[in-house]
Amino acid sequence: MKDVGRHPRIKLMTLSEVEDVSGYVGNFNVKVRRKARYVREADCTACGECATVCPVNKYNEYEVGLATRNAIYIPFPQSIPSSYVINMADCLSKDVITCNKCVEKCQKRCIDFDMRDEIVELKVGAVVVATGMDVYDPTRLDEYGYTRFQNVVTSLELERLINAGGPTGGHLVRPGDTKAPKRIGFIQCVGSRSHNRGNPYCSNICCMVTIKNSLLIKEHYPDTEITVFYIDIRAFGKGFEDLYERSKREGVRYVRGLPEHIEEDPSTGSLRLKVENTTAGCIEEHELDMVVLAVGLEARKDGDKIRHLLSLSQTSDGFLAESHPKLMPVDAPTRGVFLAGCVESPKDIKDSVTQASAAAARAGVILSSDKIKLDAAIAVVDKEKCTFCELCVQVCPYSAISASKQNKIAAHVTEAMCAGCGSCAAECAFGAISLRHFEDAQYMAQIEAALAENPQDTAIVFACNWCSYAAADLTGTSRLQYPPNIRIIRTMCSARVNEKFVMQAFKLGAPVVLVSGCHLADCHYMAANRSTVKRMDRLWSRLERLGIRPERLQLEWMSAAEGQKFARVMAELDERRSKVTPEEIEQTRKALEAADKKKVA
């Protein structure tokens, strides 16, 4: 952090928050609110005299409440800049200057109550999001008595209790009576790997954090009895298994099984728990002086703001989604934005730093070139045909399109922001937007060719490039069988499937049509496939109004790994196809032709 602070080409803006982002890759405009510090950092020598006279005592956020701080304070010993700050919400002088003790004490005269927040505008070429995570709050799990029992602490609190710079100077004591605990229990997976008690995913770091802390405690207090209650230990990183083995050699006991609940003996503050040791197949009772809950990590509660500002998407666990898990793991779906650290998924420091280095290198690629290469498949507007309806603006997941109904301004695509999903082209009823290389005429020709011979025996499948088409590939490479009369038409995203493609297929005699794409939360184009969902509802209603059975149009989401699902869906689709009679197909054709005539008239 010191190196960053001193670096001539890095501008470190602490106590600052991004308020607005506009523009696009290479040309972002960022508005940053620099919050008032009320202490001139250039003059402050961090002597600490001011804090000695401050009468306010508040929850110390850095010490997770294990200590207090004043209203004027230094957030933590190694803070950069090394300067005090006043939390105005806590200061007695927030409305009228009533206290003024710190001002009187400060010899350097660096306290200034007239300071105001400042808005700073920056022009940047790339953005790295590294806003981290939240730690799971186990207060919700009443059975473990966190906050009810003083000697039940979280792993984060333990970090402070054993840190030489922490509130106890590194002397491990239990909060209830400040006595050194002789028997410590760690409960793993608190808030992780559970569908009804926290989050369903593994938080990645908790096993190693416990192993590390058990070794630290054993090193300083070898007589401490340590028991770890776990589901399974995940020590998969370099050197991790060694650490695990070492902690066992040091006498840490590992019991496979999680306790149901904890009871406290109010006279001693000791904790009792019962656990089913699933390795030994017996119930064990434990009496402990202190219990540490190995809490998981979760997405930041205030993360939505940054997500909206940069048009980013989340995976189902709430963390930010990368552009592609294998090929672009540090790129965000918005071009020019990169992800690093726990904002993307729970990870340890090594992985966070690895990802941050990669993100910095990716950003460097953009910054070091005058021009960037874009994919050719991006949306283009025929301004003559545009009716300013703004529908394209609404469906674009990247906010790459602007238009104005009010001012009659035709749609304009900022090419550097367009990712090429084609949602806009599918939504435009006037053919005013097309996706280069994936144009309407090309699709119409493919549909025609697929149904040129024996249309009654053919099923039309629209498959998105990233998931369902890849699932079809996997079906092939896995030697799984599916009916040979399926005709697959590849689109970049399911959202590219225009209603008229589906109608054209039915008009040309297709008995059944399937639209398929990535699972809703896994869309390669952020949430473009939500447009598909809306369009499918519209299509089913339209078919019904025309007297065509809506069941002939199917929708399936599948991932690139679901080759088996692909094969099963295709077999079922063919089965459905075989039940559509030539009479029904003929009726459909007539109904659609009549509808076309009505439209022309």
Partner 1 sequence: MTPTEKQSKLKCMRCGHEYTTSDDLIKVERACPKCRSNSVRRVGEKK
Ligand X SMILES: Cc1cc2nc3c(=O)[nH]c(=O)nc-3n(C[C@H](O)[C@H](O)[C@H](O)COP(=O)(O)OP(=O)(O)OC[C@H]3O[C@@H](n4cnc5c(N)ncnc54)[C@H](O)[C@@H]3O)c2cc1C
- The secondary element (H helix, E strand) that includes residue 240 is helix 240-249
**Exactly one of 32, 215, 533, 595 binds partner 1 (CB under 8 A); which one?**
533
Question: Of 203-211, 270-278, 384-392, 547-555, which part binds partner 1 (CB under 8 A)?
Answer: 547-555
Does 341 bind ligand X (CB under 6 A)? Our answer is yes
**Cβ count near 516 (within 10 Å):** 28
> Residue 225: what residue type?
E
CA triplet 316, 317, 320: central angle to 5 degrees?
A: 85
Q: Which of residues 97-156 bind ligand X (CB under 6 A)?
A: 130-133, 135, 155-156
E strand map for 204-279: 225-230, 253-256, 262-265, 270-277
Query: Integer distance in angstroms from the first to the last C-alpha of the chain?
Result: 71
Residues in the chain, total: 601
Give which of 417, 418, 358 is closest to 128, Cα–Cα.
Answer: 358
Question: Looking at 199, 311, 554, 588, which residue binds partner 1 (CB under 8 A)?
Answer: 554
The H-assigned helical ranges of 401-526 are: 423-427, 440-450, 468-477, 499-507
Residue 133 interacting entry, from partner 1, ligand X, none, C-beta within 5 to 8 Å by type: ligand X
Beta strands in 454-596 (DSSP E): 459-464, 486-491, 512-517, 553-557
Chain center to CA of 476: 32
Distances (CA, A) of 126 to 93, 326, 495: 40, 21, 28
Closest CB to ligand X among 87 and 564? 87
Could you tell me the smallest distance in angstroms from the CB atom of residue 321 to ligand X?
A: 16
Q: Which stretch binds partner 1 (CB under 8 A): 173-181, 350-358, 457-465, 526-534?
A: 526-534
Task: Decide if 339 contacts 129 (C-beta within 8 A).
Answer: yes
Q: Which stretch binds partner 1 (CB under 8 A): 42-50, 167-175, 546-554, 585-593?
A: 546-554
**Segment interacting with partner 1, rule: CB under 8 A, options 174-182, 225-233, 325-333, 515-523:** 515-523
At residue 231, what are phi and psi to the nearest 5 degrees?
A: -90, -55
Give dist(CA 522, CA 527) in Å, integer: 8
Nearer to ligand X, 282 or 349 (CB): 349
The answer to whether the CB of 23 falls within 8 A of the CB of 33 is: no
Measured CA to CA, the distance from residue 439 to residue 432 in angstroms comes to 11
As measured in angstroms, the least distance from the Cβ of 552 to partner 1 is: 9
Considering only residues 452 to 481 of the shown chain, the ones binding partner 1 according to CB under 8 A are none
Interface with ligand X includes 349 (CB under 6 A)? Answer: yes
Told to check if 530 binds partner 1 by CB under 8 A, we report yes
For partner 1, the closer CB: 21 or 391: 391
Residue 234 engages ligand X in binding (rule: CB under 6 A)? no
Kindly identify the residues of this chain, within the stretch 59-78, that bind partner 1 according to CB under 8 A.
Answer: none
- Tell me which of partner 1, ligand X, none is bound by residue 556, counting a contact when its beta carbon lies within the kind-specific cut-off of 5 to 8 angstroms: partner 1
The answer to whether 471 and 559 are in contact (CB under 8 A) is yes
**Stretch 351-380: interaction string toward ligand X, x if CB under 6 A:** -x----------------------------
Nearer to ligand X, 46 or 135 (CB): 135
Which of the choices ligand X, partner 1, none does residue 73 contact, using the CB cut-off of 5 to 8 A by kind?
A: none
* Number of neighbours of residue 395 by Cβ within 10 angstroms: 22
> Nearest CA to 514 among 532, 498, 502, 524?
502
> Which part of the chain contacts partner 1 (CB under 8 A), choosing from 55-63, 188-196, 425-433, 551-559?
551-559
Which residues between 156 and 175 bind ligand X (CB under 6 A)?
156, 159
Any contact of residue 12 with ligand X (CB under 6 A)?
no
Could you tell which of ligand X, partner 1, none binds residue 499, using a CB distance below 5 to 8 A set by kind? none
Looking at 203-211, 246-254, 470-478, 514-522, which segment touches partner 1 (CB under 8 A)?
A: 514-522
- Among the listed residues 442, 432, 440, 336, the one whose alpha carbon sits nearest the alpha carbon of residue 393: 432
Select 240 or 540, whichever has its Cβ closest to partner 1.
Answer: 540
| Contacting residues toward ligand X, per CB under 6 A | 17-18, 130-133, 135, 155-156, 159, 205, 209, 212, 306, 341-343, 347-350, 352
